[in-house]
Amino acid sequence: MNPSFPDPFVLLLLAQDPKTILAFRRLVDKVQSRTEQQLRETKGIHQEPIKSDPPYQSIRLDRGPRAKVRLQGDMMIFEDLDTEQQEFYGKK
């Protein structure tokens, strides 16, 4: 897969602590070296669908933070970052 990072996502990422940024960097390495199916099968990533329109996926950066991504062909577009693990699923 090829990752894509829209400007709002980059600004959000740069506001995170160094540990989260490093976890993101490790995730990008995994995304670039695997197909979508391989990512789904990779332990620790936990790629899950988010019920929404358009459909998004939630993918784990590290033990806590998750990114909201949209799959478009062989591109994974990073849209948002949730460090609380609740925002994407509507929980409080």
Rounded to 5 degrees, φ, ψ at 10 are -60, -45
DSSP 27-56: HHHHHHHS-HHHHHHSTTT--EEE--SS-E
pTM of the predicted protein model: 0.78
Average pLDDT by consecutive 10-residue portion of the chain (92 residues)? 83 89 91 86 84 86 84 89 64 46
pLDDT for the residue numbered 92: 43
What is the length of the chain?
92
- Do residues 34 and 43 lie in contact, with contact meaning Cβ atoms separated by under 8 Å? no
What was the pLDDT predicted at 87?
55
Q: What's the pLDDT at 7?
A: 84
pLDDT of residue 86: 55
For the domain spanning 2-86, the CATH number is 3.30.2310.20
- Taking the C-alpha atoms of residue 57 and residue 67, their distance in angstroms, rounded to an integer, is 8
